[in-house]
Amino acid sequence: MIKAKIILLCVKFLMGAIALGLGIWYVSSSINGDAISYTSMDNFINAIGAGDDIANANGCFLCKYVAELFGVLGDATEMFWTAIVNHLWILMAIGFGIFLVIYTGTYIYDAAKKTAKLDTKEKGIELKPWFDKIWRQGVRILICGALLGAFSMGGNSALRYITRVTVTPVMFVGAELGMAATGVSNSTQCMAMDTVENTDDILNPVLQPFMCSVGNLNATMLAGAAGGFSMMNYAWMGMGGGAITWVAGLALVIMFLVIGFDLFFQVLSVIFKLIFIIIFMPLLIAAAAFEPVWKAASNLVSNAINMLVTSAIKIVAISLKIVVIYATVSFAADAHYPGPVDGFNTVFPPMLGQEITNPDAKTLSVMNTFTECERVALVNDKMDAEKFKNCFTAHRATVERKYPGAFDFLGDGWGFLMMMIGIFALYYWVVSPEIDKIFATVTPSDTDIIGGAAKQDFGNSIKQLGKNIWNLPVQIVETITAKSGKKS
């Protein structure tokens, strides 16, 4: 039995190590060249492939598959729209005919009852109230019918336009606010609105701003991971520190890898909610054709509006989470590498609009060393570790002749490692839950567009599915050990 448990632990450790290794390799390969200190935000943005459009930022291991999924869903949605739109306006016309017959018959019957006791000369039917009701209903039918394709007007193209002016701004504003918060808007931009205008893909109005939000998320995650790789490279190249500094850097990479992975699926949950609104857009328009139906479908409409509002706020909340953790870690790096707190550190790229304030002469010398070596080592937006090391060695000797021990801070790995562990715990048990609570108080209830029930968290479900698939070997070993234990 003990042997079986040891085997199970070994399998769990092996699968965890493989997953972690693949994650670190992927993050590392998402930064062009060797990840060593970036003092220029523009250079870092170019290194992750987001110089022209934040949506192109590297590091999103599932974005390619999400884009393909959106393509399939977009085709299915268009077929659904085509099938339903071609018949909805006909049903609306038939419904108007039935309404006309029933309402006219009821109106005449009621009018006849009211005038039954009147003299023959006084009898008559007043047509103005009847006409007012009919023409208003007729106008509603014509407008909704035109949007749904009647009279060779509207149809899918109109539905696309409505989607662009209702759903796209939600994601776009969320992406822009997130970029402003992280500070990447100073070095790149979101081209989603331009891309949306030049495509007929139904789900593109959601996909493109989504890619900007994910790109911004990845840029921040990669910036944090780049700080960890910098520390690992400092230790590996003998620039300062040793095993502790290398472990502190590894802990930093793992922290941002896990946080970025988790937040990606939270963004994905928001996207699936917006897809529901797009798919059911024809039904929302058709419901507006008849006042009684519109009143009966008020829950459906209010749920759709709630989804839009909630989605916009959640995108901001998700961006805020990673901004808070990056700001906290960046402050810690500012205090340790090299210190004091003045807006400059040799670990992280200067995100969040960081500016250097009142640096002393020694700090300026350290900063100039890293800035110059970054310029020398960058070739075609890729950092060359060997060139950086040679440049650093030469400049270090010069600076330390004037300021002895100016680069000793590179060996301060233990204190930073302890701080990383504390920050990681603080994020998961305090920061993230508190941000969720704050935004939960200002958002409408998160309900399904149909029926009003609590909506399924699609992003979390997909993440859980991936975990279950990855853990299959562990589950198989657990089953085997359990059976062998019973036999024993």
> 1 or 89: which carries more pLDDT confidence?
89
Question: Which residues contact residue 380 at a Cβ distance below 8 angstroms, ignoring those fewer than 6 apart?
Answer: none
Identify the band that residue 125 occupies on the pLDDT scale cut at 50, 70 and 90.
Answer: low
Query: Taking residues 14-27, what's their average pLDDT?
Result: 80
Structure tokens at 54: 């934040």
Task: Give the span between the Cα atoms of 64 and 70, in whole angstroms.
Answer: 10
pTM of the model: 0.73
Question: Which residues contact residue 197 at a Cβ distance below 8 angstroms, ignoring those fewer than 6 apart?
Answer: none
Chain Cα centroid distance, residue 280: 22
Whose CA is closest to 82, among 19, 154, 162? 154
Whose CA is closest to 272, among 66, 82, 55, 437? 66
Name the burial class of residue 198, with classes exposed (0-12), middle (13-18) and buried (19+) by CB atoms within 10 angstroms of its CB: exposed
Task: Give the span between the Cα atoms of 434 and 171, in whole angstroms.
Answer: 23
CB 218 within 8 A of CB 48: yes
Structure confidence at residue 249 (pLDDT): 84
Chain Cα centroid distance, residue 163: 19
Q: Running DSSP on this structure, what letter comes out for residue 428?
A: I
> 349 or 307: which carries more pLDDT confidence?
349
CB 348 within 8 A of CB 224: yes
**Helix 63-115 crosses helix 243-279 at what angle (to 10 degrees)?**
30
Q: Running DSSP on this structure, what letter comes out for residue 256?
A: H
Query: Taking residues 39-58, what's their average pLDDT?
Result: 80
Query: Taking residues 359-387, what's their average pLDDT?
Result: 85
**What are the helix (H) ranges across 403-429?**
413-426
Q: What are phi and psi of 117, to 5 degrees?
A: -90, 0
Query: Taking residues 310-326, what's their average pLDDT?
Result: 77
Q: Whole-number mean pLDDT of the chain?
A: 75
Question: Which residues contact residue 127 at a Cβ distance below 8 angstroms, ignoring those fewer than 6 apart?
Answer: none
* For the chain, percent of residues with pLDDT exceeding 70: 75
Integer CA distances (angstroms), 219 to 63, 142, 195, 280, in order: 14, 48, 20, 33
Name the burial class of residue 83, with classes exposed (0-12), middle (13-18) and buried (19+) by CB atoms within 10 angstroms of its CB: exposed
Structure confidence at residue 465 (pLDDT): 60
Query: Taking residues 142-162, what's their average pLDDT?
Result: 67
Residue 116's region, left for phi above 0, alpha for psi from -120 to 50, else beta, is alpha
pLDDT digits (tens, 9 = 90+) for 58-98: 766 666 667 777 777 777 777 777 777 767 777 777 888 88
Task: Give the span between the Cα atoms of 293 and 286, in whole angstroms.
Answer: 9
Task: Give the span between the Cα atoms of 234 and 249, in whole angstroms.
Answer: 9
Name the burial class of residue 376, with classes exposed (0-12), middle (13-18) and buried (19+) by CB atoms within 10 angstroms of its CB: middle
Structure tokens at 428: 């998961």
pLDDT digits (tens, 9 = 90+) for 215-234: 888 888 888 888 888 888 88
CB 225 within 8 A of CB 27: yes
Integer CA distances (angstroms), 78 to 153, 278, 281, 397, 441, in order: 17, 10, 11, 66, 36
pLDDT digits (tens, 9 = 90+) for 440-487: 655 555 554 444 444 555 556 666 666 666 566 666 666 666 666 555
Q: Dihedral angle at the C-alpha atoms of 228, 230, 232, 235, nearest 10 degrees?
A: -140
Identify the band that residue 488 occupies on the pLDDT scale cut at 50, 70 and 90.
Answer: low
* For the chain, percent of residues with pLDDT exceeding 90: 0
